[in-house]
Amino acid sequence: MSTNSFVFDASIEGHFQTQWQAPSNIALIKYWGKHGQQLPQNPSISFTLSQCVTTTKVSFSPREELNDKHFEFLFDQKKQSEFYPKIQLFMDRIMPYFPALEGHSLSISSQNSFPHSSGIASSASAMAAMALCIVDFERQFHSDWSMEASFQKASFLARLGSGSAARSISGPLMVWGQSDVFPQSNDHFAIAPSEEWHHIFHDYQDTVLIVDKGQKRVSSTVGHKLMQGHPFATQRIEQANTHLKQLKNALTSGDLELFIYLTEAEALSLHAMMMTSSPSFVLMQPNTLAILQKVWDYRAQTGLPLCFTLDAGANVHLLYPLKDRTPILDFIQKELVFHCQQGQYIEDQVGNGAKKI
């Protein structure tokens, strides 16, 4: 696919203000390993969430002087300089696709619905919200653009900020990375496949157990790099492709046994890759392992379809159908919250994607 269609119109100019809310997402098939400019080594699929969101307002104004500041960033109404390098990198990467950025200064104000230092990755929702605001600016000059075309561009730009951000645009499930089982899929932007997903997944629950609120011990940039020359890289890429094909069947048929098997296998494979890379990382903590064991025991005892997935960290995402929420939440509160840092957990569920505010 040529990326030329993603180069924006250089001549656009003016004042504009817009605000978007973009959701976080949780991968079921994990993206781990990249090449080129933020291109994935394997396809991934994620649930779009609905409660964990970033809301971002961007005001664009023509830059008077070229040495004027390019952007100013407020998080929770405060200047927070630790975010600057990541935003600067994002701006540098999107500049070739959005040359009008050169002539504008951006005033960006952002906030998350979830606690900032909860250990929940916020870069996906943050980059997606920013990308949606930028695309909205150009959209003013192209009233003929369909929403689908705008979302593709936003996903393309968001990807340049953070790979998984490409999937934080629509919902309820997003596929990013070329796969034969999803004909429209590609490495440049994520798609919301037109499949009829089984109804059980439309409002699937995700309760996020905060085991560790701290900074990630290994950044995802470092983590993806560890896949270069990894002894099991080829097998992992094959496995992710096979899992995606099988998971598509589970997601359309509602086969929860298969869904659980694949979701947990993917989470453990992701961590196995980190444990077997050089240098290696163990990101699960004793409380993570205690939770996983309790989830397996609970499932064996009750037959209820509770399963887990993990990000590149110690926190646990618990996935289950809405119809089983009452007994499962009771179990979480009585048995699992005890393993969370300060008893902290977040209740979320599958959602339908970003919206303009």
Residues near ligand PMV (CB under 6 A): 27, 30-32, 44, 121, 123, 162-164, 220, 270, 311-312
Nearer to ligand PMV, 100 or 160 (CB): 160
Closest separation in Å from C-beta 277 to ligand PMV: 13
- Which is nearer to ligand PMV, 210 or 312 (by Cβ)? 312
Of 163 and 172, which has the nearer Cβ to ligand PMV? 163
Name, in order, each residue with C-beta under 8 angstroms of 11's C-beta and a sequence gap of 6 or more. 100
**Least distance to ligand PMV from the beta carbon of 159, Å?**
9
Nearest distance in Å: CB 31, ligand PMV:
3
In the complex, minimum distance from the CB of residue 44 to ligand PMV, in angstroms, rounded to a whole number: 4
Q: Which structure tokens are listed for 82?
A: 């630790």
Shortest spacing between CB 308 and ligand PMV, in angstroms: 14
Give me the least distance between CB of 127 and ligand PMV, in Å please. Answer: 8
For residue 307 the two structure tokens come to 């399963």
Tokens of 157: 């730009």
d(CA 337, CA 346): 11
Task: Report the amino acid identity of residue 221.
Answer: T
Per DSSP, what are the bridge partners of residue 26?
A: 47
Q: Are 248 and 181 in contact (CB under 8 A)?
A: yes
Q: Pick between residue 30 and residue 294 the one whose CB is nearest to ligand PMV.
A: 30
Between residues 90 and 331, which has the closer beta carbon with respect to ligand PMV? 90
CA Rg, the chain, in Å?
Answer: 20
Indicate the residue among 121 and 211 with the shorter CB distance to ligand PMV.
121
Helix (H, G, I), strand (E, B) or coil at 226: coil
